[in-house]
Structure 1
Amino acid sequence: MSYDIATLLTRNLHEIFGEGDDARRRAAAQEIFTGDAVFYEPNGVTRGRDEIVRIAGVIRAMHPDFQYTVLRAPEVLHGRSGRVQWVSGPPGAPPAYAGTDVVIATDGRIAEIHLFFDALPATP
């Protein structure tokens, strides 16, 4: 099955990086990533669906109670790429960090994820 870019961005954020259960994370990854997907982030490059799932689990374990909140609807460019801006932190507390995910899709699955950390938005 293939998915639209907005769905891929949202599922990646919540079902891969926001998911605490490894089996559910792996099942979602089978649906939304190509087998040779690549994750680019400030600390390095991770290649392959299984490795992305592993890294997502490591990141999730560092902040098991954090939740991701999308700041605005995903933006899609030409039906092949898109971005979503988000914040993350403990429920009910100010966000601890912010970022933007950019994905490039092939045949309705994520082929590349690019993670950029952003400055935290100003709080009122």
Structure 2
Amino acid sequence: MSRSVSDLVQGYLDSWNETDPGARQAAIEKNFTNDCTYTDPLAAVAGREGLDGFIAAVQSKYPGIVFTLGSAIDTHHDQVRFTWHAGPPGSKEPAAIGFDVAVFENGKIRHVFGFLDKAQPA
């Protein structure tokens, strides 16, 4: 893999944090394969367009939300797992906490399997 795993995870978080649509699409293109999939308890999307639409919907529902790394990164066999925190910048307590497993291929993320440990009510 040409990119480090920590760079790949940071690129993942950057994609979630980018609010400019064009810049977000560029981040997704840089960090995800064309045929990527993303599955969590609230969504199952396929392809870069599907992922972009889901991220845009989350940002619209929770304006100003920022995703940060919440744990050490654990990796083996082209997969990585980590915890993330999400909430307003500077908040002491995250509004949401999740655990993701991502499978990568040729330096990009192909699949994400997400779990929500804490989430705001819908």
Q: Aligning the two structures, in what range does the TM-score lie when normalised by the shorter sequence?
A: 0.7 to 0.9
Segments of 5+ residues of structure 2 without an aligned counterpart are: none
Q: What pairs with 1:1-124 in structure 2 (closer than 5 Å)?
A: 2-13=2-13, 15-78=14-77, 80-93=78-91, 94-119=93-118
Question: SS where residue 49 of structure 1 aligns?
Answer: helix
Once the 2 structures are TM-superposed, how far is the Cα of residue 115 of structure 1 from its aligned partner? Answer: 1.1
TM-score (norm 1): 0.85
Task: Using the TM superposition, give the Cα deviation of residue 74 of structure 1 relative to its aligned residue in structure 2, in angstroms.
Answer: 1.7
Aligned residues of 1:18 and 1:67 also touching (Cα < 8 A): yes
Q: Distance in 2 between matches of 1:108 and 1:12?
A: 12
Runs of 4+ deviating beyond 3 Å? none
Q: Secondary structure of 2:94's match?
A: coil
Bigger mean CA deviation after superposition, 47-56 or 1-10: 1-10
Return the offset for 1:75: 1.5
Give SS of 1:116's match: strand
Q: Residue 19 of structure 1 contacts residue 60 of structure 1 at CA under 8 Å; is this kept in 2?
A: no
Query: For residues 22 and 99 of structure 1, what CA distance do their matches in structure 2 show?
Result: 24
Identity rate, percent: 29
Query: Contact 2:95/2:118 (CA < 8 Å) preserved in 1?
Result: no
Q: Is the 8 A contact 1:2 1:109 kept in 2?
A: no
Higher relative contact order (CA 8 A, sep 6+): 1
State TM-score, norm by structure 2.
0.86
Q: 1:92 deviation in Å? A: 2.8
Corresponding residue pairs, total: 118
